Amino acid sequence: MASLYTQQSRNVTKTWLLMTAFLIIVMGIGWGASYYFGNSYILYGAVAFALVMNIWAYWFSDKVAIASAGAKPADEKEYVELHRIIENLAITAGLPKPRVYIINDPAPNAFAAGRNEKHAVIAVTTGLLGMMERHELEGVLAHELSHIGNRDILVMTVAVVLVGFISVLADMAMHVSFFGGGGDRDNKNPFALIAVIVAMIFAPIAAQLIQLAISRRREFLADASGALLTRYPDGLASALAKIGSYTAPMQRASTSTAHLFISNPFGAAGRKSAGQWLQKLFSTHPPVQERISALHGMRV
């Protein structure tokens, strides 16, 4: 039976393998497009645009997430217990206490955002507070604190930058392929042009799938880290079971911030697909039952 520590180690290793594969794809497509069209500015322009846009998104990620979810600051007098639990867990984790927000929504959910430990926020829905027992709420909050401590926001920001780079590169390459490119393009094998066009169409899809896979791996790691923090994996497992049983979507669910939440904010509709394989492939979160099973198999 895998221990909590081996589970964490495996997830970290898998995450870095995904990131390495992602970088190889970016470098290969960028070099191939620049070489084929004979215009290195396609690559330079795409990199510059993606970096500028995503650095801005990274710098204001917490504000964007809070505004998108309609979250409001949690009054310390009204939500005394919530603040106390987060403060105690943050002390245990050796982290600064994040800013705490409330989302007025009956769907049980929560997320963490921010560019680093000193600029982090945790937001929880009113539905989560009303549904969870104390040990379950501690499990959810420990999960979110683990996202902060594990620097998941930074990892996902890097992934977003790379996805943006591939998407812009693909769009520019497609534009050039139809409306003009390198001077000697017409002298090249027409099948090569077809191959480039096909690659440019599927490159953003592949990039997005890798980003989603990274998000799913980070959820497993945050589950493991959160269980280590509370020393009670069953608390988070029970919370996930309750969250997974709630079928209605959040009132302000957004695809741009869906990966931040502990569970898919689109409810049952967000978990439906043509099949289990497709569900795993196109979901920002791993199946709840897999997460619960992993927690039950851990030792602390």
Q: Of 296, 34, 13, nearest to 165 (Cα)?
A: 34
CB-based contacts of 4, cutoff 8 Å, min separation 6:
224, 227, 228, 233, 298, 299, 300
Question: Has 117 been annotated as catalytic?
Answer: no
Q: CA separation (Å) from 142 to 27, 229, 256?
A: 37, 6, 23
**162 with 23: CB under 8 angstroms?**
yes
Run of H or E including 125: strand 121-125
**128 with 122: CB under 8 angstroms?**
no
Distance of CA 48 to the CA centre of its chain: 23
Per the residue annotation, which of 136, 138, 144, 219 is the catalytic one? 144
Give me the DSSP letters along 225-275: HHHHHHT-HHHHHHHHHHHHH--SPPTT--TTTGGGBSS-TTHHHHH--SS
Encoding tokens for residue 15? 């995450």
Strands 110-113 and 72-73: unpaired
Work out the number of other CB atoms within 10 angstroms of the CB of residue 105: 22
> Which amino acid makes up residue 154?
L
Tell me which residues are annotated as active site. 144
